[in-house]
Amino acid sequence: MDFTETPSADQLETFPNPRPGRDYSIEIVCPEFTSVCPKTGQPDYGTIVYTYTPGDVCVELKSLKLYLQRFRNQGIFYEQVTNRLLDDFVAAAKPVRCTIVSKWTPRGGISTNVTVSHP
């Protein structure tokens, strides 16, 4: 995999929802997310939690893992990356609803959590 490649929604693969029409929730926890602070160039470490109700499709986990790994060399603020993750996920999977929470490892005694939701 080329880690210099920019992450995009088309890298997320899907498969048919096995229970379309049922209102159920899927939670995906990604505890090893890494990106780069655009101000300092230092690595940022966080846990990304996706909670979504699928529509017609579900997201395939290996493609999600590879997509997330593409952020490891990206200089991007917490707020921007969390919103970007939601935008790409919604574009690929078209969930009924989705919430993404990014929980960042403390730096300088300050921790940050960012929550975004669709719709």
Tokens of 109: 């005694």
Q: Going by C-beta distance under 8 Å and a sequence separation of 6 or more, which residues neighbour residue 26?
A: 50, 51, 52, 53, 54, 58
The catalytically annotated residue of 2, 10, 23, 44 is: 44
Cα separation values, 116 from 22, 23, 34, Å: 23, 20, 18
The catalytically annotated residue of 2, 10, 37, 98 is: 37
Active site residue 44: yes
What is the phi/psi pair of residue 86, to 5°?
Answer: -65, -45
CA angle 62, 65, 70 (to 5 degrees): 130
Active site residue 23: no
Which residues are annotated as catalytic?
37, 44
